[in-house]
Amino acid sequence: MPNSGRQQEISEAMRRQDRRRFLPPEVVDEHARDAPLPIGYGQTNSQPSTVAAMLELLDPFPGMRVLDVGSGSGWTSAILGELGGPDSIVHAVERVPELVDRSRLAINQEWVQVHPAQPGVLGLPDLAPFDRILVSAMADDIPTELVGQLADGGIMVAPWGEVMHRVRRRGDDVRITEHGGYVFVPLIHTRF
């Protein structure tokens, strides 16, 4: 059963991090649409209802260490920063250099850092472990490299095989649950 208090908290964080700030001028007037919007380079700013559903599954908390993979415009990274507060650290990683630059300008929280993706590396293993990992791009299968970056008790929310999954790691035990069908841009390992 959905947690209405948690839904309200996420909704307020999304409002405080105004989507318009993260959109290019040609689509900013569509900010209120519950639809993915193009941000250039074949990438999108995710549909707000999808972002809210993913964040509820992720169960963010104050002071958390978060990895946001495929951060795109930086909107979800900023929302995670809002939910975690200044005692948290959000590491966002994006493979498109122009989007890294744009999102750094849009994000107004010192505890949210945007990193360019490294060639052949998924996530930020040198900064692991993370309490929470959010993946906003579709993989073919479970991104095991990211599961390895989860802290004990950590949660990852990621789409693969056209289904949203929630992964919880406790020691060597990894539990995976499915949460409906979704469509995302593909998860790509950066290669140079």
168 located within any domain: yes
pTM higher than 0.85 = yes
Number of domains in the chain: 1
User: In this predicted structure, what is the pLDDT of residue 91?
Assistant: 98
How many whole angstroms separate alpha carbon 107 and alpha carbon 87?
Answer: 16
Residue pointed to by tokens 């900023």: 78
71 part of the active site:
no
Is position 14 within any domain? Answer: yes
Asked whether residue 188 is assigned to any structural domain, the reply reads no
Residue 191: inside a domain = no
For 28, residues 6+ apart whose C-beta sits below 8 A from its C-beta are 20
**pLDDT the model gives residue 15:** 97
For residues 158 and 69, give the distance between their C-alpha atoms in angstroms, rounded to a whole number: 9
Percent of residues, the chain, with pLDDT higher than 70: 92
Say which of 4, 11, 46, 88 is annotated catalytic: 46
186 within domain boundaries? no
Q: What is the pLDDT of residue 190?
A: 46
Q: What is the mean pLDDT of the chain?
A: 92
pLDDT for residue 183:
56
- Whether residue 140 is contained in a domain is answered as yes
Residue segments in the chain with a per-residue pLDDT below the cut of 50 = 1, 190-192
**Residue 105 to residue 60: CA distance in whole angstroms:** 24
- Domain-located, residue 8: yes
Position 140 scores a pLDDT of 86
Q: Report yes or no on 190 lying in a domain.
A: no
For residue 191, the model assigns a pLDDT of: 42
Nearest to 100 by CA among 58, 43, 164, 183: 43
Residue type at position 106: A
CATH number at residue 103: 3.40.50.150
What's the domain range around 93?
Answer: 4-181
